[in-house]
Structure 1
């Protein structure tokens, strides 16, 4: 997996806390009017939700796969999400909203992105790759000194967020942010499956070799990057489990296995006891909103909960295959 593609996957793996910090490190990547038009989606078509209902007989949790940066055209949400939200007594996210909105969130993110051994970006990138990055940032009106103190995962995530925002994607329009605000307005309690520190520790622990392996792809062919983002976004909008799985999880598992383990497998495993407690010790329904990648494949929480004996079904009125369990596609 290229580093750019890894950054795309982060949009399906970690909460929108990234946006609190990365905007400081890099500006937007220019795109043509034709590219922007090609990435627009008709506003009247709600995205097909990536949502599963997991139950044990007396209550249910609705697992909803988020995309952490979206456009205005991605709203309104589907009636399936509206109904699940109405049924839920509370809404749980990867990280509790009060932590995401804390004044020191950005500073925590920047601290996790820095080096703890005195190195800087020129120490971990080849001179040729570093020069390409310098030229790209210079064309955007930014100085490379702004990112010298940060690890490659953060630099590339900054480039991605700059590109995404130039194409009208916004972190404040992500599905999780939308549901945070909706829960607040409805007076529904909220919570988190992990702390912000847990999430940042996982990002920070990814190996430098896996962080840097594909940066050249971004710098050599920046004109291809909007298309890659559009492809991932469209797969999420279509609720296409197989396509999204192939674009993200399968490739990540094969080419950056340690990053896959840290960002996906280990976090999923840590969440399972909390999800089971919602089912075993409660009689009220709960909506759980996490990055979409956490719901895919045999390492995903959907299949893990089905293997534990819970009843699982895809909630998708728009799906041609109906509402039968679709875990074979995961």
Structure 2
């Protein structure tokens, strides 16, 4: 979250959805972080690519003469890159449908005026329960590291010291990648959506929506419940301290279409720890949305199969992790009998496909 969107690079839209039951109210009520101290020396060893870049090639999923071309998305990406979309645009124009990536939405079961009454409840949702400070919530060595990194990337923001560790971690990560010339989205999904609209191709949003029956109760439960997010906090500190160069290298590999480099670099960073902090928390189980990620993935698989069987050609998006992981959604399609081929001619696991 740039303030409240946990989905930005670190996790699913689950927590962001809960905090966004009244739109962006929490972000509007959040104090603006202070700017970094002037004249501070930054260690910017890694350099992000810029200018026009091709991006990665497309994965091919097929059964018979029906094909689905899949674009792998990634976060973060180089901020000053201009994505050359000729191949993507041509593929979309020749497709009958564009399939979005799996996503999650939480919606309050209330009307517009009910949402307005929720605004006061959102204020302070990022704060620790029982008025605890960040220093009290995390191990002393991690807090010492936090103070150093906070000074470097955030500045003298005292309000953040009352935030839950996971929110503080996201804020730090966002500020750090921005300093390294990276952006969390790169506008890839919006570009694909715009191209589908340009060529009058149906865009199918694959979104698992869960209605929050009692949003006031849900917010109260979240605000008063503990969350074991210390691992997420510590792993994020690790990433900011020593892995920003690797994130830059990975972002550059996406921009230049270097699939081998993408395969060689880990994809999950601290995200798994941060996702687990949310989905394994007591409030998630109590409110009944601890398994929404799995449900969203199952919905995407069903939509993908239907699209392939119905359309002569489909264009789809998935995270690069889902394309490269042996447990990812593309591998799961392969296990169901679909033929999967990477842009370099190898299969889903990077093994060269046999020549006919």
Smaller-chain TM-score range?
0.5 to 0.7
Indicate how the Cα distance of structure 1 residues 302 and 267 shifts in structure 2: closer, same or farther if over 3 A, else same.
same
CA-CA distance at 1:254 after TM superposition = 10
Indicate how the Cα distance of structure 1 residues 112 and 298 shifts in structure 2: closer, same or farther if over 3 A, else same.
farther
2:9 maps to which residue?
11
* Structure that is richer in helix per residue: 1
CA-CA distance at 1:313 after TM superposition = 2.0
Indicate how the Cα distance of structure 1 residues 185 and 78 shifts in structure 2: closer, same or farther if over 3 A, else same.
closer
Asked if residue 46 in structure 1 is aligned to residue 54 in structure 2, the reply is: yes
CA-CA distance at 1:86 after TM superposition = 1.8
Q: Among 35, 50, 61, which residue is 2:44 paired with?
A: 35
2:82 maps to which residue?
75
Distance in 1 (CA, whole Å) between partners of 2:52 and 2:189 is 20
Gaps of 5+ in 1: 1-8
Asked if residue 59 in structure 1 is aligned to residue 59 in structure 2, the reply is: no
2:101 maps to which residue?
94
2:347 maps to which residue?
325
- Higher relative CO (Cα under 8 Å, sequence separation at least 6) belongs to 1
Indicate how the Cα distance of structure 1 residues 270 and 115 shifts in structure 2: closer, same or farther if over 3 A, else same.
farther
* Structure that is richer in strand per residue: 2
Taking structure 2 as the reference length, the TM-score comes to 0.63
SS of residue paired to 1:179: helix
SS of residue paired to 1:190: strand
Alpha-carbon contact 2:53-2:256 (below 8 Å) kept: no
Alpha-carbon contact 1:55-1:311 (below 8 Å) kept: yes
Distance in 2 (CA, whole Å) between partners of 1:28 and 1:294 is 36
Distance in 2 (CA, whole Å) between partners of 1:276 and 1:194 is 16
Aligned residue-pair number: 298
Q: Considering only aligned residues, what root-mean-square deviation do their CA atoms show, in Å? A: 4.8
CA-CA distance at 1:309 after TM superposition = 0.7
SS of residue paired to 2:318: strand
| Larger-gyration structure (1/2) | 2
**1:119-159 deviations in Å (ceiling 9; x for gaps):** 75344212453354345435533414236233x33322222
Taking structure 1 as the reference length, the TM-score comes to 0.67
1:4 maps to which residue?
none
